[in-house]
């Protein structure tokens, strides 16, 4: 059972198009299969609007794509809906427009300039007018996990010991503590992003495919054949071995 998965995109439309071309080349050799994007379409990167539009149009056109919700996607839509919104899992000393979160880069891509350096009310009013409703509805409608065969795809991870259908959204899009250090067999292999690394890593019970595109790193695309994992490159497949 073949499935492709792409890590945290963070506004890097050119990287996204590139890895999609690698997937297309692999599919030409091995056959079509779903492509799962593990979330964080927006924030920090140069063309968040372009990423959202590219994926929205593709999904609506019937591409065999799954796009999952990440914590940054959730923060973006909730900020637009309510200027006073603060994500319950975000540190209290941070806000959506704080440089560590990167919301200003998202608003910049929609034409709202210098969002982090101006008064909150006019910035929010401009953002409300600039972000198309179809983009908000697309992001708000994204699923929070996808299961295919023996693999579960999710943005951040799972709360160990809880059936996937009973998992809390807060955990699926935010979790680190309690998941990353757990070495037990989760039953299904968990493929996730959210925690930035230099390269994809296979830990036996989970595979992290966030290779730091948000911070100048590459965007990772992998292909899973059952529970076997291969990193895709311009030259083809490279096995991701268990660490």
What pLDDT digit, counting tens, does each position of 163-217 carry? 999 999 999 999 999 999 999 999 999 999 999 999 999 999 999 999 999 999 9
Give the whole-number percent of the chain exceeding pLDDT 90: 98
Distance CA 68, CA 36 (A): 7
Task: Give whole-number Cα distances, 210 to 125, 163, 165, 241, in Å.
Answer: 33, 24, 24, 16
Confidence of residue 221 (pLDDT cuts 50, 70, 90): very high
Q: What is the pLDDT of residue 243?
A: 76
46-49 long-range contacts, CB within 8 A, separation 24+: 46/11, 46/12, 46/13, 46/105, 46/109, 47/11, 47/12, 47/13, 47/14, 47/109, 48/10, 48/11, 48/76, 48/105, 48/106, 48/109, 48/110, 49/106, 49/109, 49/110, 49/135
Q: What is the pLDDT of residue 127?
A: 98
Distance CA 151, CA 170 (A): 20
Global pTM exceeds 0.85: yes
What average pLDDT does this structure show over 221-239? 97
Confidence of residue 78 (pLDDT cuts 50, 70, 90): very high
Distance CA 176, CA 172 (A): 10
Q: What is the pLDDT of residue 190?
A: 98
Handedness of CA 233, 237, 240, 241 (dihedral sign): negative
End-to-end CA distance of the chain: 23
């Amino acid at each position: 059972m073949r499935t492709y998965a792409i890590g945290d995109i963070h506004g890097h439309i050119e990287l996204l198009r590139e890895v999609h071309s690698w997937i297309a080349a692999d599919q030409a050799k091995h056959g079509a299969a779903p492509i799962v994007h593990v979330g964080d379409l927006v924030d920090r990167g140069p063309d968040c609007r372009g990423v959202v539009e590219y994926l929205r149009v593709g999904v609506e056109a019937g591409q065999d794509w799954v796009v999952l919700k990440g914590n940054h996607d959730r923060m973006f839509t909730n900020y637009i809906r309510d200027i006073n919104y603060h994500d319950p899992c975000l540190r209290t000393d941070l806000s959506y427009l704080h440089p560590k979160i990167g919301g200003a880069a998202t608003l910049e891509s929609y034409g709202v300039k210098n969002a982090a350096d101006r008064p909150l009310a006019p910035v929010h009013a401009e953002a409300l007018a600039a972000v198309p409703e179809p983009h908000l509805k697309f992001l708000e409608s994204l699923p929070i996990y996808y299961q295919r065969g023996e693999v579960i795809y999710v943005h951040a991870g799972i709360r160990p010991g809880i059936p996937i259908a009973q998992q809390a959204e807060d955990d699926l899009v935010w979790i680190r503590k309690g998941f990353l250090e757990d070495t037990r067999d989760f039953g299904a292999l968990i493929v996730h992003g959210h925690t930035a690394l230099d390269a994809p890593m296979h830990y036996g019970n989970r595979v992290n495919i966030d290779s730091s595109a948000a911070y100048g790193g590459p965007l990772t695309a992998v292909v899973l054949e059952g529970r076997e994992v291969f990193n895709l490159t311009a030259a083809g497949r490279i096995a991701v071995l268990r660490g």
